[in-house]
Amino acid sequence: MVKRTSMDKAPCPIARSLDAIGDWWSLLIVREAFGNVRRFNEFQKRLGLAKNILAARLRDLVAEGILEMQPASDGSAYQEYVLTKKGRRLVTVMIALWQWGEENLFEPGEVPTRLLDKETRQPLRKLQLQTADGHPVRPSDIMIGAPAPVPELRARK
C-alpha cells in the first residue's frame, strides 16, 4: 500500500496488519462503515477527503477483503460498501485505538465522542489483556514466542 519495503510477507502479525490497514484513512473509513455509512458520497462528506483518495482507499479495502460491494439497498443503481466479516473483526482494533485515544489524548476539558453499548447506552468496559485461563496480564508479562520480529527475508535485492 505504501510502497516501502512491503512487509506483507513478514511473520509478524503487526507488520502485516499495518500493511493492510496501517495508512491513515483506512481505519477512519472502517469506522464510518461501522456506523453504517455505505455510500461513496456519504463517506466523502463525513470524512472530508478528496474523492480520488477515497476511491483509492475503498478500492484497496475491497481488495483486502475488508469491505465488499453490494447492490444498493434503496434501489438506486449504485453499489454500496459494506464490511465483510473480516472487516467487522477489526472492531477490536478500533476500540483499542478509541480507548487509548480517549484516555491519553484528551485534555481534561475536552469531550471525546463516546462509544456506547447500544442497549444500555453505557461506555464499554476497557479492553483487558488476559491469559488463556482468564487472568489479567500486564504489559511486562508478555513475551514474543518466535525467532525474529522483523526478519531479513525482505533483506536486500
Beta carbons of 124 and 117 less than 8 angstroms apart: yes
Query: Could you say whether residue 91 binds DNA (CB under 7 A)?
Result: no
Which residue is listed with cell 484516555? 103
Site for its own copies in 56-85 (CB under 8 A): none
Strand partners, 123: 116
Reduced to 3 states, what is the DSSP secondary structure of residue 97?
Answer: helix
- Contact window for DNA (CB under 7 A) among 71-79, 106-114, 134-142, 145-153: 71-79
Distance CA 76, CA 60 (A): 24
User: Minimum Å distance from CB 136 to its own copies?
Assistant: 10
- Contact window for its own copies (CB under 8 A) among 24-32, 54-62, 70-78: 24-32
Reduced to 3 states, what is the DSSP secondary structure of residue 154?
Answer: helix
Query: Could you say whether residue 123 binds its own copies (CB under 8 A)?
Result: yes
Contacted by 139, from its own copies, DNA, none: CB < 5 to 8 Å by type: its own copies
User: Minimum Å distance from CB 75 to its own copies?
Assistant: 24
Query: Could you say whether residue 50 binds DNA (CB under 7 A)?
Result: yes
Query: Could you say whether residue 64 binds DNA (CB under 7 A)?
Result: no
Reduced to 3 states, what is the DSSP secondary structure of residue 84?
Answer: coil
Which residue is listed with cell 465488499? 68
| Residues binding DNA: number (CB under 7 A) | 29
Count of beta carbons in the 10 Å neighbourhood of residue 43: 23
**In which element (H, E) is residue 121 found?**
none
Query: Could you say whether residue 62 binds DNA (CB under 7 A)?
Result: no
Contact residues: DNA, CB under 7 A: 1-5, 23-25, 39-42, 49-53, 55-59, 72, 76, 78-81, 156
